[in-house]
A and B are shown apart, each in its own frame.
Chain A
């Protein structure tokens, strides 16, 4: 167990270093900020002047070393565009994104687990079929379609829900559902399949033979064991969402989150913001993965007890 836990942060550090390096190189391969947001109407001398001003005049290696020195001392630089420290720019955006992410995960878990269990227990009745229908439909509808349809119905026609920003509880409803749609579909199916696996096994029959109530059999012994699979799926999904999943939804609902920030930074080639933004997201993903590993260890005695 201890050895297993120690490996987690080491793996995380190596991953982060690789990401920092790849981000640095990739951003610079894709073009120059002077050619994007500063490009219009610039003379040759003006161009030179700005390249010097933004410290883009060294070789790639010099810039990389300067960047690494910065990273080690916690200095990630100023955004090329608004000239604020990128740490501040990104921090301001992380909170709304994290809120939306948590809301979506909460909704996903609350809806998917019961649906998955129902789908497994009543797999032969119409209830199970309905659950599967729902899951397939959810898979097939991309988040932006779901978002636009909801906006059309609940805002444009009915005027019940606001579409702009994250000001109140009401603002969370549509973005959360839009973000969760595909996740709910996926997790419902995983839960159902995991439950079907478990419910067919011998110890379930034993539990029933002991005379335990059906609810206890399904929830304690069934879901308890299926939980190991479910946890890893949730972990993967959260990580995926944190990495990329929210860009479209944030853009549609003008959610002041990190997705929109990163897309803009990429278009403008605002290297410092892009680098730190990617690093921040990467850290989030790595931490989520590490936590998933820990949760996995806690849930699965085979891992928990393997080296004890």
Chain B
């Protein structure tokens, strides 16, 4: 009987492949799907297949090359006003036509947010936008408070992907009013304009996409995609091997060879546009002296961490910068380096008396997080620092007793503002958690970086900002972790360089299945 079922199951498998269907085994499945309120690494996997922004970029390229999406053209009509022409004939997954009203609704739900979960998300990146308004049925304008050097970058953010107004408002309560509960309901039954519509969504378990035949752009290459959560790494790898999954996410570095050694399987990976960082509390009584924090940073041999933990595949930065930032990428700037001798000298100068310095980490949250912490303790010991790893699940970044810990700084969009800025700008999360201080001088430099419309002026200002970071350090980017995906040899897919981290892009041109 079992044998019969097995043969039936095996016989069915090639059929499924012929039907252009794949199954993704994901380490994590999102608990909700709303591109607006989400900025997690789990959620970012899923939005690009189902939603569109007004302006998109060519994700095959590292440099930002803007391409029309739901807007066909855009121009500045005033220094602070951008006018966009909307694409005609765009349909939402529920059959509604996309109108200027939908676009205004989507933008203003974030720009002028009242739903608390939107408010907190919009504040850090969309703060310069004041409103969106309709000009006519196919034209809209976005207003900014100050001249904006990053128009296209910000308009292509996941958080302002376009959703249907009528559908959303009608989800709960009064069908003409956008209530908080409408947004909550939307996150469980999301509707967008992208090439795949969400057919089934079971929060935290499973997501099924089917091809959306009325998509305005190139037809989706797959008819159906099942994403299933497989939390356990060993189970994910086995599922790939048994054929239950065609692609698996979050393959640990030590399992790459296991997958690669199977001729039917392969791996793809890249150094993710995200830093694992060490943060240091500037306001902890024992760490107030910048020399001690400088020494903690100088004592860490990040290249050794890379070699030992990531097989040398991670990327160690010299400053808080990434090559995705294009013109703003400044690889020659050296803000962070390894110099144990100087670390020893600084500790002596500061009169460090051997008091214990704690380093908090969660047990498993960051890949290699705990191992890195233990290695860092050894490196600290080598310069005479008495370090101690404290494993805790709770986020301690807002605890005044926190001395140092690990964290991550993702690149939410391709600009230093989208990575360093979101976390470390004046009045940002790090400062308001009380472990990091900025002053008027820093704010002036930051403003000049954020709002100068000349690229060279922005670069020069960023150098000054990094100089301040070097003088009174609160953060050390350790490396860009190397993330890998395992897949069948017949699947042609790889993470594209122009995306934010973890995006599973299955649009036309991004994935294909070899006929076997």
Contacts and interface: CB of A to CB of B under 8 A. Distances in A.
Given A50-B120, A53-B116, A251 B232 contact: yes
Given A84-B188, A164-B25, A252-B235, A39 B395 contact: yes
Contacts, number: 123
A36 B5 CA distance: 44
A163 B188 contact: no
A175 to B, nearest CB: 11
B393 A267 contact: yes
Interface stretch (B103-111, B135-143, B236-244): B236-244
B438 interface: no
| Size category of the binding interface on chain B | 35 or more
Interface string B116-143: 1101100110000000000000000000
Interface string A56-93: 00000000000000000000001101111000010010
B175 interface: no
A31 interface: yes
Given A35-B398, A84-B188, A52 B231 contact: no
A24 to B, nearest CB: 19
A254 B230 contact: yes
B72 interface: no
A165 B230 CA distance: 9
Contacts of B422: 41
A254 B204 contact: no
A155 interface: yes
Interface stretch (A226-234, A256-264, A275-283): A256-264
Interface in A152-182: 152, 155-156, 159-160, 162-165, 168-170
Contacts of A79: 31
Given A50-B120, A53-B117, A168-B5, A254 B229 contact: yes
Interface in A179-199: none
A82 B204 contact: yes
Contacts of B152: none
Contacts of B116: 49-50, 52-53
A43 interface: yes
A44 interface: yes
B161 to A, nearest CB: 19
Given A49-B119, A53-B116, A254 B235 contact: yes
B244 A164 contact: yes
A251 B423 CA distance: 33
A86 to B, nearest CB: 12
A83 B244 contact: no
Interface stretch (B265-273, B424-432, B476-484): B424-432
A286 B184 CA distance: 34
Contact of A31 (B6, B123, B394): B394
Interface SS of chain B: mixed
B235 to A, nearest CB: 5
B228 interface: yes
B204 A251 contact: no
Contacts of B19: none
B394 A254 contact: no
A36 B395 contact: yes
Interface residues of A, number: 47
Interface in B393-415: 393-395, 397-398, 407-408
B120 A49 contact: yes
A164 B235 contact: yes
Most-contacted residue by chain B among A83, A170, A253, A267 (CB, 10 A): A83
B238 A156 contact: yes
B395 A35 contact: yes
Contacts of B31: 79, 81-82
B200 interface: no
A170 B9 CA distance: 10
A164 B234 contact: no
Given A35-B395, A163-B238, A82 B231 contact: no
Contact of A83 (B25, B184, B235, B428): B184
Nearest to A42: B429
A253 B242 CA distance: 13
B187 A46 contact: no
Given A50-B117, A156-B238, A159-B242, A43 B395 contact: no
6 contacts: A31-B394, A152-B238, A159-B242, A254-B235, A256-B206, A264-B204
Interface of A: 31, 35-36, 39-47, 49-50, 52-53, 78-79, 81-84, 89, 92, 148, 151-152, 155-156, 159-160, 162-165, 168-170, 251-254, 256, 260-261, 264, 267
Instruction: Give the 9 A-B residue pairs with the shortest CB-CB distance, closest first.
Output: A39-B395, A46-B120, A83-B184, A44-B432, A82-B203, A53-B116, A43-B432, A82-B31, A81-B31
